Amino acid sequence: MAESATPGAVTAVADGPVLEVTLNRGKANAIDAATSRELSRVFAGFRDDADLRVAILTGAGDRFFCAGWDLNAAAGGEEFEADYGEGGFGGFGELPGLLKPVIAAVNGMAVGGGFEIVLAADFVVAVDHARFWLPEASLGIVPDAAAVRLPRMLPPAVANEVLYAGRRLDAAEALHSGLVNSMVGRADLMVEAHALAARIVEAAPLPVAAIHQIRDRTQHLPLHEAFELLRSGELAAYEAMLASEDAAEGPKAFTEGRPPRWQGS
């Protein structure tokens, strides 16, 4: 019989075009392989549902957003390189074909793999008591996703201290460094996350997907190679946007002084 996540560990509720995903797994919201596969299933459904435009991922409670890999599962024999689902650990950071934004609404501490989930999000809203750190090196393992992403997001000396020495960042430091979009009190966390989602939804869906694809495919390239790829016709989402009716609708609506009517085509 296939292993399954703890019942109720992941809930997903659609509010119009916004999918709110909540991790609710014990006091620390730690993730084992089965829960990660469930998150992958949820985010694959988000990817494939044309009516959904933005996802918000948060944790239950006030103390932990996510404590990362469930070390109790590890002690019970679950391997570090377990099957976490097609989206990788946390469900969406490595999900093929995901061209929709994910907002992390960080309700508390984001530790280890929980911090890596935050780094994979497109936008981050955090409570003022949030904390971010990577204890993996002190536990004999490697924060592999963070080792890839964090040096691209922080100054080298700071990224190194976080990765090698477990330096903890508070919400204010994360905001100042650009890891977080906004910092709010606990009562305002989901209000702020949904307000951000609403602003994203106001944009046409095809440009949002195109921007996502351009970013993912070009950020590692030298500038001239990035522009060559952009003009090559190989970026399907970008080409679909250029040929769309929405690309004509936006300027037309602007000149006519009315809200645009996006068709997604």
Catalogue the active-site residues.
116, 136
Interatomic CA distance for residues 101 and 54, integer angstroms: 5
Residues with Cβ within 8 Å of 236's Cβ and at least 6 positions away in sequence, in order, are 213
Cβ atoms of 31 and 90 closer than 8 Å: yes
Measured in degrees and rounded to the nearest 5, phi and psi for residue 177 equal -80, -10
Interatomic CA distance for residues 135 and 124, integer angstroms: 21
Residues with Cβ within 8 Å of 80's Cβ and at least 6 positions away in sequence, in order, are 69, 74, 141
Sheet with 109-111, edge to edge strand ranges: 64-66, 109-111, 131-133, 169-170
Within a 10 A sphere around the Cβ of 204, how many other Cβ atoms?
Answer: 18
